[in-house]
């Protein structure tokens, strides 16, 4: 571990020094190598939450080569990665317009949907960071449709009723053993992106008080999990379905889905502390009446820690 940290530090110093002296670099091959180095080091800095130095390296890398040199067949994948990472990082340093420029660059140069998956999320996150929740919901919905997955252009009570009926039908006959036997990971990268976009709609729906959108997004996450495999968003969907069951006074069913989601949570890798926080505060009310009070406090403290570590102070 010490050796890897030393290697990362050497690469960081090399990238910073060479970036400062880019005017002296004339060879296109050397510039291309510096682009790769800057991208690698910027990702390392992002993992340490050092967004400002990371964005400096990424901005420098994005201008080292001309568009003709940058967007060659050999460098296309790296260029997509570079500008997508730049868009994500610009959001982190509150440079909204710069993020949109990077997003448009990727959209214009992408060869297919696979190239756009990460930048879809970056664009939606940029709207959320600006508190433009309605725009974020509309954009997320449009991206879901672009990925070939149906989503209503307008969510109404009739839409919600249809989603509830479809989910009730999908869950009919699904015993705990059947649900536990679902794949523990969602392998389809496209569907993973859809799940994150649905979760963004749920989050934005909470902030603007659009409860129809919250439930439609949550129920779709559950159905996708049953069809394609489990994910953190899918388990959050179990909590949304438990709420629906409570509305119809099916309290035992609600408790069942909540307990099932909790039992599966430790087997699913969740990289988002904010989502983990929301999952636990969503699920715990269905189980606290049947558990010792000290255990409930422990779980609430865990949810609080998840939220605080990820900067989700409101839910924490």
Query: Please, which pLDDT band fits residue 89 given cuts at 50, 70 and 90?
Result: very high
pTM for this model (two decimals): 0.83
CATH number for the domain spanning 104: value is: 1.25.40
- Residue 59 sits in which domain range? 1-130
Residue 188 located in a structural domain: no
Residue 314 pLDDT more than 80? no
Structurally, how many domains does the chain consist of?
1
The answer to whether 78 and 61 have CB atoms below 8 angstroms apart is no
**Per-residue pLDDT for 265 more than 90?**
no
* Angstrom distances, CA of residue 213 to CA of 115, 230, 309: 28, 22, 27
**What pLDDT, on a 0 to 100 scale, did the predictor assign at position 29?**
84
Kindly report which listed range (40-44, 48-52, 134-138) carries the lowest average pLDDT score.
48-52
Please write the tens of the pLDDT for every residue from 63-77: 888 889 899 999 999
- Taking the C-alpha atoms of residue 213 and residue 138, their distance in angstroms, rounded to an integer, is 11
Domain-located, residue 173: no
Residue 95 lies in a domain: yes
**pLDDT tens column, 276-289:** 777 777 666 666 65
pLDDT at 103 over 90: yes
In a domain, 147, yes or no: no
| Residue 1: band (very low, low, confident or very high) from pLDDT cuts 50, 70, 90 | low
């Amino acid at each position: 571990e010490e050796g890897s940290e030393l290697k990362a530090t050497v690469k960081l110093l090399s990238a910073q020094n060479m970036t400062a002296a880019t005017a002296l670099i004339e060879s296109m091959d050397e510039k291309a190598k510096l682009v790769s180095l800057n991208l690698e080091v910027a990702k390392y800095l992002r993992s340490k939450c050092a967004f400002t130095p990371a964005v400096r390296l990424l901005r420098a890398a994005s201008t080292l080569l001309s568009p003709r040199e940058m967007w060659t067949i050999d460098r296309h994948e790296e260029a997509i990665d570079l500008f997508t990472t730049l868009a994500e990082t610009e959001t982190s340093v509150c440079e909204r317009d710069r993020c949109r420029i990077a997003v448009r660059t990727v959209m214009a140069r992408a060869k297919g949907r696979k190239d756009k998956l990460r930048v879809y999320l970056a664009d939606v996150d940029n709207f959320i960071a600006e508190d433009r929740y309605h725009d974020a919901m509309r954009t997320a919905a449009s991206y879901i449709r672009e990925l070939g997955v149906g989503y209503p252009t307008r969510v109404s009570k009739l839409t919600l009723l249809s989603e509830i009926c479809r989910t009730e039908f999908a869950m009919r006959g699904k015993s705990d053993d059947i649900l536990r036997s679902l794949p523990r990971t969602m392998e389809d990268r496209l569907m993973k992106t859809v799940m994150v976009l649905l979760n963004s709609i749920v989050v934005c729906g909470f902030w603007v008080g659009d409860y129809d959108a919250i439930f439609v997004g949550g129920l779709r996450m559950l159905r996708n999990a049953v069809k394609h495999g489990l994910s953190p968003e899918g388990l959050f969907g179990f909590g949304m379905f438990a709420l629906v069951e409570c509305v119809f006074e099916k309290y035992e069913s609600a408790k069942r889905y909540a307990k099932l989601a909790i039992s599966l949570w430790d087997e699913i890798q969740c990289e988002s502390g904010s989502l983990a926080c929301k999952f636990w505060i969503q699920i715990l009310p269905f189980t606290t009446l049947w558990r010792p009070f000290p255990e409930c406090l422990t779980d609430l403290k865990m949810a609080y820690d998840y939220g605080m570590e990820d900067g989700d102070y409101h839910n924490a």
